[in-house]
Amino acid sequence: MDITQACEAFRVLLEEQQARIANANEEKKDFSGMDTITVGIIDGDGIGPLIMAQAEKVLRMLLADDIAAGKIVLKNIEGLTVENRLALGKSVPEEVLAQIKACDVLLKGPTTTPMGGTMESANVTLRRELDLYANVRPVSIPEEGIDWIFYRENTEGEYVLGSRGVSLPGMAVDFKVTTDFGTRRIAKAAFDYAKNNGKTRVSIVTKANIMKKTDGKFTEICHQVAENYPGIQADDWYIDIMTANLVNPAIRSGFQVVVLPNLYGDIITDEAAQLQGGVGSAGSANIGDRYAMFEAIHGSAPRMIADGLQDYVNPTSILRATVMLLRHICRQDAAQRLEKALDDCDVTVTGDANGATCQAFMNQLLTLL
């Protein structure tokens, strides 16, 4: 590619992004009044099918009455496997996407992103296709008074054009995009959560001293949104010091809600999950106005399969995500029951042969439900 071609590619990207802004639609779905809610179950690959089998079992138990009454339909969606995606050359094959779009909410196992090549991560495609703009990741360490919730912007920033950068002789350029509407809606989601859950503080995290245009906009708009929430303190931090703050026992329990752009949110939520007990311990919700998708925070762990550690997979993260799904579809009692059982279960799965097996964990969890 030469400079003229690169400029042309950039022009196309800018036009597409302007069109995205023009088409933004902010109508919200209200689950409380719906007659039938369709929950899509997507296994994914690697350890995905193993942990999803446990999550589906738990969902069927907790929602038995609703399922029998036809109020909730669980629908298994096949075909989002790395083999099928590679064979069709699509990160999310069209017929799979059509089935997904026919659901209201999704519970999804981890999907492998092939290294190299041009195939986009299925997660990123789904977040964009379903406009799942809020990646919500709670982390709690009760014994230290830590109760954090991260609102990571999930459709923009470094990810929106992540597979569409340009290479020129001797150099490469990627793009980061921050829009007013995209920032406003994630900020609103974070502040609404704070307001509705008795939180008094929202921390805005960027690198606005360096990424002046994009992160500068993000910070500015978050502060504008904050003005509509009297009684909630908004403070801002740079991502580098924030990663240090999370391991600083003197101040870390003071953070409550954190709102941040996509890539920083990706990185810091792994750090936070690790502090809580590993990336296998945290759930993750991808929420939009029309759809929502709940998943484990970790990947498909093909190494566990290769090493024959199938029996030791940890279903905790997908089960935490299941709690979030139940809350989202207004099944508070079921959510509460599962959350309490997970809090009380003292069988420790570590993801290797030093820990308990998935079966041992599930045996206890099911008795606690």
**25-64 residues near Mg ion, rule: CB under 5 A:** none
Q: How far is the CB of 280 from ligand IPM (least distance, A)?
A: 13
Q: To the nearest 10°, the Cα dihedral for 324, 326, 331, 335?
A: -60
Taking alpha carbons only, the member of 126, 47, 109 closest to residue 319 is 109
Which among 81-89, 118-126, 232-240, 325-333 is the span making contact with ligand IPM, rule CB under 6 A? 118-126
Give the SS3 label for residue 82.
Answer: helix
**186-215 residues near ligand IPM, rule: CB under 6 A:** none
Write the interaction track for Mg ion spanning residues 224-263; mark x where CB under 5 A is met and - where it is not: ----------------------------------------
Over 101-169, what HEC string results? HCCCEEEECCCCCCCCCCCCCHHHHHHHHCCCCEEEEEEEEHHHCEEEEEEEECCCECCCCCCCCEEEC
Write the interaction track for ligand IPM spanning residues 14-53; mark x where CB under 6 A is met and - where it is not: ----------------------------------------
Q: How far is the CB of 150 from ligand IPM (least distance, A)?
A: 11
**120-139 residues near ligand IPM, rule: CB under 6 A:** 121, 123-124
Nearer Cβ to ligand IPM (136/358): 136
Bridge partner residues of 369 (DSSP): none
Nearer Cβ to ligand IPM (163/357): 163
Taking alpha carbons only, the member of 131, 118, 124 closest to residue 164 is 118
Q: From CA 165, how far away is CA 161, in angstroms rounded?
A: 7
Using rule CB under 5 A, residue 266 touches Mg ion: yes
CB 221 within 8 A of CB 204: no
Which among 81-89, 119-127, 253-261, 344-352 is the span making contact with ligand IPM, rule CB under 6 A? 119-127
Using rule CB under 6 A, residue 266 touches ligand IPM: yes
CB 245 within 8 A of CB 212: no
Q: To the nearest 10°, the Cα dihedral for 329, 332, 336, 339?
A: 20
Which among 35-43, 64-72, 116-124, 247-255 is the span making contact with ligand IPM, rule CB under 6 A? 116-124
Binder of residue 121, out of Mg ion, ligand IPM, none (CB less than 5 to 8 A by kind):
ligand IPM
Q: How many residues does the chain have?
A: 369
Nearer Cβ to ligand IPM (124/160): 124
Chain contacts with ligand IPM (rule: CB under 6 A): 113, 121, 123-124, 266
Chain contacts with Mg ion (rule: CB under 5 A): 266
